[in-house]
């Protein structure tokens, strides 16, 4: 009987155990009066680091610790985002529709294959494939005012949207970018102002330019082109990155060869050019992916038939743009490397404290008017001991005051 109850409860949970759809935003008390701020679940959530994972099977979850999940096997992540427990997660599907989700509402799972379907944990519907995402802190006031969201497509279209235009967590999706026919979204990044961008194509070209070359737009806008591609030869973007100090560019070909190239090898150019050669390719071996990271960082290398492989940046040799790569793993003739899934790091920015206003000095208090004190007590002084008096003439005895001075020669008792 107990086993039967457990089985029925598990079935009910799998059928109806979706996330809460309602969201309390604000409460008002009386007409025109705002009530005290409500205590939400986000306020009670501990601020701990986690990884949001989306798999190829359409499962979403978050890790219970800050340790990166396994990057190999069939359940390897196709999307990996570093976030905080109180952050807001912005996810985007292939056609440009976005959704905002609170990170703490996602289930914690040690293994990504134990996650829940994306349609149950987000406003997306069944059949929509999540391909990109970013995590933004709950307190957006900590971010620079020029911070923007950058979306990129495989055909080289870019769109920059101010973060203040993004909606908060809701049960309704929103339009992130309008993509053309045959184009899909591939990347999402956060720009903090005065950064540089790099786009890499499957033909081995790369272009580096300033983010100011892409003007900010609203949510309903389409975007601008970032790089000229040879679409007749099947050219497309395989990487879009925001450059960070100390990092290198990892390039992986579809035949399993890889190399690292220093960012100083790429000159700064203008937007919408062909760029420079990052790796000489052939029709039989083209670039499959590009990622930015440090020597100890890892990426998941996805293939068409085999399971994903974990690749460490330091395993790829350092080469120049014209240098050859090295075969890091064997790829069968019927198999090809399709893409790289690198973990999107959490935002790192410096909070500039607001200047504190100088304290205003209060004017000195006016002197209080003198009050009439007691007799013998000067005005404004507290009563205390009577001050010592200077010696004066001796007092006359009381008997002398009543009877006066005695007449001389008169005896006492005489009638």
Structure tokens at 280: 């000489």
Distance, in Å, from the CA atom of 83 to the CA atom of 91, rounded to the nearest integer, reads 13
Question: Rounded mean pLDDT of 94-104?
Answer: 96
Question: Rounded mean pLDDT of 338-366?
Answer: 70
Question: Rounded mean pLDDT of 37-45?
Answer: 58
Structure tokens at 161: 């949207």
- For the chain, how are helix, strand and coil distributed in percent, rounded to 5? 15, 30, 55
399-413 confidence digits (pLDDT tens): 554 554 455 554 444
Find, among 392, 348, 369, 131, the residue nearest to 240 by Cα: 131
What's the confidence (pLDDT) of residue 319? 97
What's the confidence (pLDDT) of residue 415? 41
Q: Counting beta carbons within 10 angstroms of the beta carbon of residue 225, is it exposed (0 to 12), middle (13 to 18) or buried (19 or more)?
A: middle
DSSP 147: -
Q: Which domains does the chain have, with CATH numbers?
A: 40-342 (2.120.10.90)
Question: Rounded mean pLDDT of 160-178?
Answer: 93
Span of 131-140, 170-179, 261-270, 384-393 with lowest mean pLDDT:
384-393
Find, among 97, 78, 99, 95, the residue nearest to 184 by Cα: 95
301 phi and psi angles, rounded to 5 deg: -95, 110
- Contact between 257 and 327 under an 8 Å Cβ cutoff? The reply is yes
What's the confidence (pLDDT) of residue 141? 75
Structure tokens at 168: 């908060």
183-235 confidence digits (pLDDT tens): 999 999 999 988 999 999 999 999 999 999 999 999 878 899 999 999 888 99
Distance, in Å, from the CA atom of 115 to the CA atom of 56, rounded to the nearest integer, reads 12
Q: What phi-psi label fits residue 193: left (phi over 0), alpha (psi between -120 and 50 degrees) or beta?
A: left
| Mean pLDDT score across all residues of the chain | 84
Listing DSSP states for 349-397 in one string gives: ----PPPPPPPPPPPPPPPPPP----TTS-TTS---SPPPPPP-PPPPP
Q: Which residue has the tokens 């390719």?
A: 281
Percent of the residues in the chain that have a pLDDT greater than 90, as a whole number: 64
Is the confidence at residue 39, as pLDDT, over 90? no
What's the confidence (pLDDT) of residue 412? 47
Is the confidence at residue 149, as pLDDT, over 60? yes
DSSP 140: G
- Contact between 75 and 111 under an 8 Å Cβ cutoff? The reply is yes
CA 299-184-249 angle, to 5 degrees, is 30
214 or 355, higher pLDDT:
214
What's the confidence (pLDDT) of residue 24? 53
Give the model's confidence band at 140: pLDDT under 50 very low, under 70 low, under 90 confident, else very high. Answer: confident
The bridge status of strand 157-162 relative to strand 97-102 is unpaired
Is the confidence at residue 238, as pLDDT, over 60? yes
- Contact between 108 and 175 under an 8 Å Cβ cutoff? The reply is no
């Amino acid at each position: 009987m107990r086993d039967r109850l457990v089985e029925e409860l598990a079935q009910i949970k799998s059928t109806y155990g979706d996330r809460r759809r309602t969201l309390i935003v604000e409460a008002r008390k009386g007409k025109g009066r705002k009530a005290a701020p409500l205590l939400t679940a986000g306020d009670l959530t501990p601020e701990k680091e986690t990884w949001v994972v989306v798999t190829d099977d359409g499962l979403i979850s978050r890790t219970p610790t800050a340790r990166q999940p396994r990057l190999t096997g069939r359940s390897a992540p196709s999307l990996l985002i570093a976030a905080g427990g109180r952050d807001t997660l912005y996810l985007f599907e292939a056609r440009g529709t976005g959704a905002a989700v609170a990170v703490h509402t996602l289930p914690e799972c040690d293994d990504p294959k134990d996650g829940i379907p994306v349609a149950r944990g987000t406003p997306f519907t069944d059949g929509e494939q999540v391909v990109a995402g970013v995590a933004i802190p709950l307190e957006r006031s900590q971010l620079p005012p020029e911070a923007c969201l950058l979306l990129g497509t495989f055909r080289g279209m870019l769109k920059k949207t101010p973060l203040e235009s993004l909606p908060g967590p809701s049960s309704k999706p929103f339009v992130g970018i309008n993509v053309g026919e045959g184009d899909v979204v591939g990347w999402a990044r956060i720009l903090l102002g005065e950064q540089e961008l790099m786009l890499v194509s499957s033909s081995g070209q790369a272009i580096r330019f300033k983010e100011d070359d892409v003007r900010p737009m609203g949510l309903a806008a389409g975007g601008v082109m970032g790089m000229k591609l040879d679409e007749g030869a099947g050219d497309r973007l395989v990487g879009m990155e925001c450059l960070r100090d100390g990092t290198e560019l990892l390039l992986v070909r579809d035949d399993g060869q890889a190399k690292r190239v220093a960012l100083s090898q790429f000159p700064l150019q203008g937007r919408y050019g062909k760029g420079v050669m990052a790796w000489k390719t052939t029709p039989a071996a083209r670039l499959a992916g590009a990622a930015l990271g440090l020597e100890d960082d890892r990426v998941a290398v996805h293939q068409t038939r085999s399971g994903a492989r974990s690749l460490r940046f330091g395993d790829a040799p350092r080469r120049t743009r014209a240098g050859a790569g090295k075969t890091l793993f064997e790829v069968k003739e019927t198999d090809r490397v399709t893409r790289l899934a690198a973990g999107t790091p959490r935002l790192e920015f410096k909070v500039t404290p607001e200047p504190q206003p100088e304290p205003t000095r209060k004017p000195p208090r006016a002197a209080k008017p003198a009050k009439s004190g007691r007799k013998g007590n000067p005005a404004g002084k507290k009563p205390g001991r009577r001050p010592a008096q200077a010696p004066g003439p001796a007092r006359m005895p009381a008997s002398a005051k009543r009877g006066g001075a005695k007449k001389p020669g008169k005896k006492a008792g005489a009638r």
